[in-house]
């Protein structure tokens, strides 16, 4: 007879194709993340029962690891698989959010800390690093009164965002997870991990003022996922999709093996042209093959996001120039 762990293991490994398709961080290895996922679910009987009742959620959660670009490695403390609202959910820690911020390329250093009534805290400006003194060995530092996040940009500037606990609670009180606790006494992270959620709330607010880097979209995706799909935001639609993938994902799988190989070679060739010459040459190369719509969609999924944006801009500029040229031509008599 097949055991629950064997079924869960099979479900985790069935996510391998989706994992590879949406992975935004090529340093992530599916085999390692699958092992971490199985280990996590193996050690929690309640999580196993939820995983058996909602097997698709296991696949979604593992796929989201790749879509966001974060690891379940317990040593990194970036993310975890947790049972929530009748499904297995990817939960991202405040440390995971800070790591994504550091990987954006625009931030060198980041810190987020809780402030208690017994601490000494002084902030002389949002562009300065705060002074925070406390006894780390104290059994009781008093009541939690606030939280702050401070980052050092690549230009050497400090950016500090501080929030009172009442400001944090204002956001908490509007979240669907907290409302479920108040109305139905359904446990949520705000009840079980208040400090973690307080830090995460501060980072979510602070990141709006941080400089953007090439990989900033990953942090924004992570925050969007936590708010919209992980029960931390203001609204939650239980019928909403639970994968951070685009409608174009999966287009390659509809192609024959030969067509897939052809598109991969075209993607590599056009990306090389993009890096060497620019968007114009890359767009010319792609248009030269006169791809069908399905092929264009599939090719699009193989190109990096910055290249896609440049190609869109180049194509739009050409259309605008063509429209202007046509408007300038005299009408036929």
Q: Give 324's contacts (C-beta < 8 A, 6+ positions apart).
A: none
Distance from C-alpha of 190 to C-alpha of 16, rounded to nearest angstrom:
32
Q: What angle do CA 246, 250, 252 make, to 5 degrees?
A: 125
What pLDDT is recorded for position 254? 53
Q: Which of 216, 215, 205 is nearest to 126 (CA)?
A: 205
More confident residue, 77 or 240: 77
More confident residue, 333 or 163: 163
The Cα-based distances of 48 to 7, 42, 126, 243, 255 in angstroms read 10, 7, 45, 21, 36
Distance from C-alpha of 132 to C-alpha of 125, rounded to nearest angstrom:
14
Instruction: Record the tokens describing residue 94, joined without a space.
Output: 């405040």
Tens-digit pLDDT profile for residues 153-207 = 988 889 999 999 999 999 999 887 888 889 888 788 899 899 999 999 999 999 9
What pLDDT is recorded for position 199? 96
Pair 88, 44: CB distance under 8 Å: no
Q: What angle do CA 86, 91, 94 make, to 5 degrees?
A: 150
More confident residue, 232 or 326: 232
Indicate the pLDDT class of residue 246, thresholds 50, 70 and 90. very low
Distance from C-alpha of 327 to C-alpha of 129, rounded to nearest angstrom:
57
Indicate the pLDDT class of residue 289, thresholds 50, 70 and 90. confident
Instruction: Record the tokens describing residue 173, joined without a space.
Output: 């009180």
Instruction: Record the tokens describing residue 129, joined without a space.
Output: 């690093």
What pLDDT is recorded for position 241? 37
More confident residue, 233 or 142: 142
131 exposure class (CB count in 10 Å sphere: 0-12, 13-18, 19+): exposed
Pair 302, 267: CB distance under 8 Å: yes
Pair 114, 198: CB distance under 8 Å: yes
Tens-digit pLDDT profile for residues 77-88 = 999 999 888 889
Pick the range with the lowest mean pLDDT from 2-11, 72-81, 108-117. Answer: 2-11
The Cα-based distances of 276 to 269, 272, 281 in angstroms read 11, 6, 9
Average model confidence (pLDDT) across the chain: 85
pLDDT at 244 over 60: no
Tens-digit pLDDT profile for residues 109-166 = 999 999 999 999 999 888 889 999 999 999 999 999 999 999 999 888 899 999 999 9
What pLDDT is recorded for position 328? 57
Report CA Rg, the chain. Answer: 24
Tokens 């050092």 correspond to 152
Q: Give 308's contacts (C-beta < 8 A, 6+ positions apart).
A: 300
C-beta neighbour count of 140 within 10 angstroms: 8
What pLDDT is recorded for position 251? 52
pLDDT at 235 over 50: no
Pair 300, 263: CB distance under 8 Å: no
What pLDDT is recorded for position 331? 54
Q: Which of 117, 158, 165 is nearest to 141 (CA)?
A: 117
Distance from C-alpha of 305 to C-alpha of 104, rounded to nearest angstrom:
14
Q: What is the DSSP string of 288-313?
A: HT---HHHHHHHHTTS-HHHHHHHHH
What pLDDT is recorded for position 245? 41
**0.75 surpassed by pTM:** no
Q: Which of 95, 153, 165, 164 is nearest to 127 (CA)?
A: 153
Instruction: Cite the DSSP H helix spans in the chain.
Output: 4-13, 16-22, 30-42, 45-53, 55-68, 94-103, 165-173, 176-184, 189-192, 194-206, 216-228, 257-276, 279-288, 293-300, 305-328
């Amino acid at each position: 007879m097949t055991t629950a762990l064997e079924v869960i293991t099979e479900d985790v490994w069935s996510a391998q194709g989706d994992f590879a398709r949406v992975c935004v961080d090529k340093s992530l290895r599916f085999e390692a993340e699958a092992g971490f996922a199985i280990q996590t679910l193996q050690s929690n009987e309640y999580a196993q029962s939820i995983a058996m009742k909602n097997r698709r959620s296991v696949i979604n959660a593992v796929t989201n690891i790749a879509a966001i670009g974060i690891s379940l490695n317990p040593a990194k403390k970036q993310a975890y698989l947790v049972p929530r609202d009748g499904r297995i959910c990817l939960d991202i820690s405040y440390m995971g959010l800070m790591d994504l911020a550091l990987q954006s390329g625009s931030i060198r250093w980041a810190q987020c800390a809780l402030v208690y009534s017994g601490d000494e805290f002084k902030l002389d400006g949002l562009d300065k690093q705060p002074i925070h003194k406390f006894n780390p060995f104290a059994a009781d530092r008093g009541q939690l009164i606030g939280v702050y996040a401070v980052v050092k940009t690549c230009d050497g500037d400090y950016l500090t965002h501080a929030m009172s606990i009442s400001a944090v609670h204002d956001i908490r009180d509007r979240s669907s997870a907290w409302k479920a606790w108040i109305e139905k006494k359904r446990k949520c992270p705000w009840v079980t991990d208040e400090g973690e959620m307080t830090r995460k709330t501060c980072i979510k607010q602070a990141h709006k003022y941080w400089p953007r880097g090439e990989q900033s979209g990953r942090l924004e995706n992570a925050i969007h996922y936590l708010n919209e799909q992980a029960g931390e935001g203001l609204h939650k639609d239980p019928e909403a999709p639970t994968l951070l993938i685009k409608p174009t994902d999966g287009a390659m799988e509809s192609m024959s093996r030969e067509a897939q190989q052809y598109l991969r070679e075209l993607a590599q060739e056009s990306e090389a042209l993009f890096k060497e010459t620019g968007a114009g040459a890359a767009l010319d190369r792609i248009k030269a093959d006169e791809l069908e719509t399905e092929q264009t969609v599939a090719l699009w999924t193989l190109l990096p996001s910055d290249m896609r944006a440049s190609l869109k801009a180049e194509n739009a500029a050409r259309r605008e120039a063509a429209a202007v040229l046509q408007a300038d031509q005299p009408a036929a008599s």
